[in-house]
Amino acid sequence: MARSDFTFADLHLVTDDRLLAPRAWTQLQSAWAADLLSQVPEGPVLELCAGAGHIGLAALRQSERRLVAVDREPVAADTICENAERVGMASRVEVRCGELSQVVEPGECFALVIADPPWVPTSRIGRFPEDPRGAIDGGDDGLAVAQQCVAVIAEHLLPWGAALLQLGTRDQVGALDLPAGLVVVEVREYPRGVLARLVPAGGDQVSCAAGPSR
Ligand SMILES: C[S@@+](CC[C@H](N)C(=O)[O-])C[C@H]1O[C@@H](n2cnc3c(N)ncnc32)[C@H](O)[C@@H]1O
């Protein structure tokens, strides 16, 4: 294992070679998420598949909202904690280590969800030998973890909230089996991936209607 420093959206952070190497273009996910914070209701932000936590930390650094960052790898959880300390955000960052479908409690509601699941179909992961398999393997169609993300989003997004999901292609966004009440309203394409903005259909057609949970 080796730790290395990197700079992401002007934040000086650390990562670990057991994690996916941070990709500079994903600063655009942070920037879009930061823009959305001025439009969504009050409440915390949930980051799914956080890795070193850089996307969520950069998105919230000008905000006072709480961030719940989730990853199933203990090395990711440790790294997010260290990075939150480094940038002075530890008091409002909660790190949860586990399967994303299991670490968000029933009834918890979030104003914004940022998600960066593995999206490479298993048959193609051999093209990326430098990347940890668990960070990129999205199953047969590349959407296995993304489907779990949209299920969590549908259950835990506040009315009038928003989610930003990262995938590999626009076709993958179109192939998602979206839960009832959740719709894709915008897709932005970049050379190395796409970002999809999802919202509750009609603004409030999701099940998390209790108001900010914590
Ligand atoms: C594509 S990487 C993204 C990491 C980070 N956001 C980045 O930009 O480097 C996907 C991350 O999701 C985590 N992951 C994969 N499947 C998961 C699951 N079922 N539950 C929680 N985390 C998962 C992996 O450990 C990995 O850190």
- Torsion angles phi and psi, residue 35, rounded to 5: -60, -45
69 CA → ligand 1 middle, Å = 11
Would the pLDDT of 1 be above 80?
A: no
Beta strands in 30-109 (DSSP E): 45-48, 67-71, 93-97
Strand 45-48, strand 67-71: pairing: parallel
Quote the CA–CA distance of 20 and 145 in Å, as a whole number: 16
Quote the CA–CA distance of 47 and 126 in Å, as a whole number: 27
Predicted local distance difference test score (pLDDT) of residue 152 = 97
The mean pLDDT of the chain is 95
Token pair listed for 107: 């009834």
Q: pLDDT digit string (tens) for 52-80?
A: 999 999 999 999 999 999 999 999 999 99
Would the pLDDT of 209 be above 90?
A: no
Minimal-distance CA residue to ligand 1 atom 18: 99
Predicted local distance difference test score (pLDDT) of residue 146 = 98
Predicted local distance difference test score (pLDDT) of residue 212 = 45
Domain 25-203 is found in CATH 3.40.50.450: no
Q: pLDDT digit string (tens) for 6-44?
A: 999 999 999 999 999 999 999 999 999 999 999 999 999
101 CA → ligand 1 middle, Å = 13
For a mutational test of ligand 1's pocket, the pick from 71, 120, 147, 148, i.e. the residue with the most ligand atoms closer than 8 A to its C-beta, is 71
Quote the CA–CA distance of 124 and 195 in Å, as a whole number: 21
Query: Is the pTM higher than 0.75?
Result: yes
